[in-house]
Structure 1
């Protein structure tokens, strides 16, 4: 799924999926929308980049979750939502101190964040990447032989970058579905693209 820069909510009634993409410019200046525990986690982060990613990811996830549940999605209404971590590292959404009746998957990159929300019985995975050149070492280390061939077969540098990043993003999303993230080898899952060029 993809969205334009800025706030881009989309609801899929047939599947019960909601996704939201937001940019850093949409973050509120204050942290009143974070829970006390989230503010404590934030205070423990040493690097501004990590703090910014945390805030943007949580804000996007809370707004997406609020939209999915039919709640107010303005910053003042979001302090009742908390995005914690399950023991396996997956996001664990809560509402009013209780597990929220939805599953979520989150990703952020380059001052953008995206969150996918669905029914709790669904295993979800989403990833957000820039289309940028990937080194030969990256392709060899993280992509299977078939995926490497797909990248090599792409015509031109831009198309190879697109293919490599599309495959990488799909792998990251698949590993989130499996609830392992990058603790599991990226070579253990294989992405198959259709016969046409990546779009």
Structure 2
């Protein structure tokens, strides 16, 4: 099966899309471009601005024009205005941002979320998602929800796997990484996470 994964928006989205791509490969499927008329096209969207919403709709329509047999739209735009997306075409399947893990489960029985075949010198590793602040000018807290930290053990395992594959640097990303660990009991800080990462890795650098 041919699967295309397209991403708009932030580094957190890019990190999540890397997991989708890994699930595709682990399941024995082929990553493909839109030009190859994929069986499934997954579009990970953004909704920070009106322009971002417009770009999402453009990309969705492009995927349909290129002949993708199944179009799955997820991400912040899908979370914020799912009905607007569904009106574009009945062919579209909308999966809200808070249900993204369902895509990995759909693509592969292996849900270990290991990161493989990342086409960047500095892969992104998501350590946190969501925001506890309620800024009136920002929509992110509405579509991403409250801050949720990725367990330290899971982050360390991902980074070690990347180091074993030869990566020399990773970018730790999230919606508001300064909130990392505040929802974990016992509470841990971003500094504490970095200390543990350095203890469990050899030469890899962090941004």
**Scaled by the length of structure 1, what TM-score is found?**
0.26
The two structures have a TM-score, normalised by structure 2, of 0.25
